[in-house]
Structure 1
Amino acid sequence: MITPNPIFGTGLHAIGGISAASCYMPFEKVKNWTWEIFWIVQALFAWLIMPLLIGFFTVPDLFTVLAKAPASVFWPALLLGAVYGFGGLSFGYAIRNIGYSLTYTISIGISAVLGTIIPLILKGQLIEQFTKIGGDTVLIGMIASIFGVALCGRAGFLKEKFLSSKAKDKGNSFNMKKGLILVLIAGSLSAIWGVSLEVGQPISDIAAEHGAGNFEGNAKLIVSSLGCLLTNLIWFGFVTFKNGSIKTLISVKQTGTKRYLSNFSLSALAGSLWYVQFFFYGLGHVRMGSFQFSSWVLHMSMLIFFSYIIGVLMKEWKDVNRKTYITLIFALLVLVTSFVIMTYGSYIGELANGTH
C-alpha cells in the first residue's frame, strides 16, 4: 500500500520536468546527422529500449503482467499512444517554424489542460474531483498554472518578435502561421498521451498485484510507448529512405566511427531523458493520493517552467529587451505559485482523508 504524500509527489514531478525540459539539448551537439536520423535513434530509446529495460528491473513478472492485460485495455492504450506519436511529429516540425520557446509553451499548455480534463470527463468525475475537500484549491492552482503558461507564451512571443526585428538575415525561417497550426495539432494530440496512460491504468493495477509497488506505472508505460514508437518509425523510416539520409545511420563510414558513436550516444541520451520524465511522473503520480488527476497539469507545468529556467541559464534570453525579461520572470513566479497551491490543495485533501 503506497502512502499518499503530495509534497514528495510534487518533488518527483519536478525531477521529471527537469528531465523533459533538457531532453532535446543533446541534439545541439549532433553533427552530420539530419534531424530525422536523430529522432529515429532517440525514439528507439524513449519508446522501446528504456521502457522495456526499466520495466524489466522494476516490475516483477513483467511479461506475465503484459500478457494478463485485457485486450479491451491493451489495444486502446496502444492506439492512443500511436495517436500521440503524430503529436510528437508535429511538435518537432513546429520547433523549426516558431522556435523552441513558443512550441514548448503553446503545445504543452494545451496538453496540460486537455490531458487533465478529458480523462475526468471520460470517467464522469469532473465535478466530483473539484468539489471535494481540497479540490477547489487544486482547481485554483490549475487555473494559476494555465495563466502562468500563457504568460510564458507571451514572453516567448515577445522574444521571437524582438530578436526577429533585430535580425539582418532575410532568410529567417520563422513562420508563425505554419508553426501555430503545427503546435495546435501537437498540443491537442499530446494530451492523448495522458489519456492513454489513464486507459492503461488496469495494467498498472495488475503490476501492483505482482508486487511492483511504487513502480506499477512502468508497466502501462510500455504499452503506450510502443504505440508512439510505431507511428514515429513508420513516418521517419519513410522520410529518411526517401531523402537518402538513412545511409548515415546504417553506415559508419558516412560520418566516421568517432562521430557516429558520438551522435548515437547523444541521440540515445535524448531518448533516455525523455523516458526518465515519465519514470518520475509515475513515481509522483502514485503519491498524489486522491488527487492523482492533477498530476498531468502539474507535470506539464513543471516541464515548461524548467525549460525556461534552462533557457535562462544557457543565456538564450540575454539579448531580449527589459519588457520581455520582466514578463518571463513574472510568468515563472506565477508558475511556482501554482505548484505551491496545487500541492497544498492535494495535501489538505489527503489530511481530510486521514492519510497523514
Structure 2
Amino acid sequence: MNAIAGVIFHFIGGFASGSFYVPYKKVKDWSWEAMWILGGLFSWIIVPPIAAYLTIPNFVEIIQNTDSSILGYTFLFGLLWGIGGLTYGLGVRYLGVSLGSSVILGLSMVFGSLMPAIYYFFNKADGKHGIDYFFTTNAGICVMVGLLVCIVGIYLCGKAGVLKERGLANLSGEVQLEYKFGLGITVAIISGILSACFNFGIESGKPMADVANQLWKAANPNDGEFLYQNNVTYIVILWGGFTTNFIWCLYLLAKNKTFSDYKKSSAPLGKNFLLCALAGTTWYLQFFFYGMGESRLGNGASSWILHMAFIILISNAWGIFLKEWKGVSKATYRSIIAGIAIIILSICIVGFAKTLE
C-alpha cells in the first residue's frame, strides 16, 4: 500500500512540475525575467514557509538548531539547483515544453538517482543504498531496467525534437523565432546536470527532516513515517535556489531595462500577476508532493526516477495539448508518442521494483 501511495503522490508532484510553465505562456507583454522572478517569489520565498508552518509548526526551531555545516551544504546544493532551475526556463523557452523538459529532466533523472548511490557506496549510512544495490538485488536491477527504459523514451522525445527542427521551414515565423535548437540544447544539458542537485540537497538536509519525523512519531506513535517531514528541508534548499535566480533576474531587468514591465499600460497587470503567482505556487507543489511520495517510498533512486518520469510524461502531454507538434511530419509525431508510451512503461517498471524489496 505504501508503494501505491508513493507512486500516486509522485504523480501529483510530477503533474504540478510538468504543468507549472503553462501559466507563464499566457503572460502578455512582460519579459521573461519579469515574469520568472515574480513567479519565483512564490515558489521559493512565500509558499514554502506557509506550507512548512501548516505541517511543521516548529520548523523555525528545527532550522535554528541544525548544525551550520548541514545548512551550508543544503543551501549550496540549492544554489546549484537554482542555476539548473534558471536555465530550465530558458531551455523550455527555446525548445518548447515537450523537448526542453524531456532533455533537462532526463539528465536530472540519471544524475540525481545514481550520484547519491555512488556516494553512499563509499560512505555507508543506515537506510541508504550504495550503487552495488542496483546490480546485486532483484529490486535494484528492476529499478535500473526502469531507468534504462526511460532513457530510451527520452531519446525518442529528443529525436522528435530534431525532426521538428528539420521541418521548421513549414512552421510560422513566430515559432521559428522562439525555437532555437542549438542554444536550447546547450542550456538544457547544463540545466539537466545541475537540476539533479535538488536531490543532493534533500540528502544533505535529511537531518532536519529526521528531527521533524522523530517529533511527529513521538506525538503519533504507530502511525508510520511523517508524510510532510521534508517541508522543513525545502526551506533551506529553496533559499539557495532563490538567491541564484534573484541575482540573475535583477541583472537582466537592469540590462534590458525591463523594470518598467510591471507598470506597462499595454500589459494586463492583474492577470499577469495572478498567472505568475499560479505558476510559482504550482512549481512548489511538486516538492510538497515529492516529499509525501518520498516518505512512502524512501529518498532513493526509485523516488527520484518516478518523480522525473512523471514530469517528463506530463510535460510531453502538455506539449501535444498546446499543439507544439502541430504541422510536424508523421514520423516526428510517431516519435514523440512512442517516447511518451515508453516513459509510461518505465514508470510501471520502477513502481513494480518497490514490491520486490
TM-score when scaled to structure 1? Answer: 0.90
Read off the aligned partner of 2:239 and give its amino acid letter.
L
Aligned to 1:238: 251
CA–CA distance in structure 2, aligned partners of residues 246 and 339 of structure 1 = 43
Aligned to 2:233: 220
- 5+ long unaligned stretches in structure 1: 350-356
CA–CA distance in structure 1, aligned partners of residues 109 and 313 of structure 2 = 13
Q: 2:98–2:317: 8 Å Cα contact kept in structure 1? A: no
Q: 2:8–2:293: 8 Å Cα contact kept in structure 1? A: yes
5 Å matches for 1:63-142? 63-124=60-121, 125-142=130-147
Moved more, 97-106 or 232-241: 97-106
CA–CA distance in structure 1, aligned partners of residues 71 and 172 of structure 2 = 53
Read off the aligned partner of 2:190 and give its amino acid letter.
I
Q: 2:27–2:272: 8 Å Cα contact kept in structure 1? A: yes
Aligned to 2:265: 255
Aligned to 1:61: 58
Q: 2:134–2:144: 8 Å Cα contact kept in structure 1? A: no
- Cα deviation, 1:143-202, whole Å, max 9, x if unaligned, reads 11111111122123223332x131363964543332222111111111111111111111
Q: CA deviation at 1:96?
A: 3.8
Is 1:272 equivalent to 2:277 in the alignment? no
Moved more, 303-312 or 214-223: 303-312
Aligned to 2:159: 154
Return the match for 2:31 from 27, 31, 34. Answer: 34
Relative distance call for 1:267 and 1:193 in structure 2 (3 A) is same
Moved more, 149-158 or 313-322: 313-322
- The share of aligned pairs that are identical, in percent, is 34
Q: 2:98–2:318: 8 Å Cα contact kept in structure 1? A: no
Q: CA deviation at 1:89?
A: 2.2
Q: 1:149–1:301: 8 Å Cα contact kept in structure 2? A: no
Aligned to 1:295: 303
Moved more, 72-81 or 316-325: 316-325
Relative distance call for 1:314 and 1:272 in structure 2 (3 A) is same
Moved more, 74-83 or 142-151: 142-151
Report SS of the residue matched to 1:286. Answer: helix
- 5+ long unaligned stretches in structure 2: 122-129, 218-225
CA–CA distance in structure 1, aligned partners of residues 248 and 170 of structure 2 = 37
Q: CA deviation at 1:243?
A: 2.3
TM-score when scaled to structure 2? Answer: 0.90
CA–CA distance in structure 2, aligned partners of residues 121 and 112 of structure 1 = 15
Q: 1:111–1:191: 8 Å Cα contact kept in structure 2? A: yes
Read off the aligned partner of 1:116 and give its amino acid letter.
S
CA–CA distance in structure 2, aligned partners of residues 273 and 167 of structure 1 = 31
Return the match for 1:329 from 318, 337, 346. Answer: 337
Aligned to 1:283: 292
Q: CA deviation at 1:264?
A: 0.8
CA–CA distance in structure 2, aligned partners of residues 5 and 146 of structure 1 = 26
Q: CA deviation at 1:219?
A: 0.7
- Cα deviation, 1:46-95, whole Å, max 9, x if unaligned, reads 11111111011011311111112221211101011011111122222233
Q: 1:69–1:206: 8 Å Cα contact kept in structure 2? A: no
Q: CA deviation at 1:32?
A: 2.1
Aligned to 2:196: 191
Relative distance call for 1:52 and 1:202 in structure 2 (3 A) is same
Relative distance call for 1:199 and 1:323 in structure 2 (3 A) is same
Report SS of the residue matched to 1:31. Answer: coil
Relative distance call for 1:241 and 1:168 in structure 2 (3 A) is closer
Moved more, 4-13 or 116-125: 4-13
Report SS of the residue matched to 1:148. Answer: helix
Return the match for 1:22 from 19, 22, 38. Answer: 19
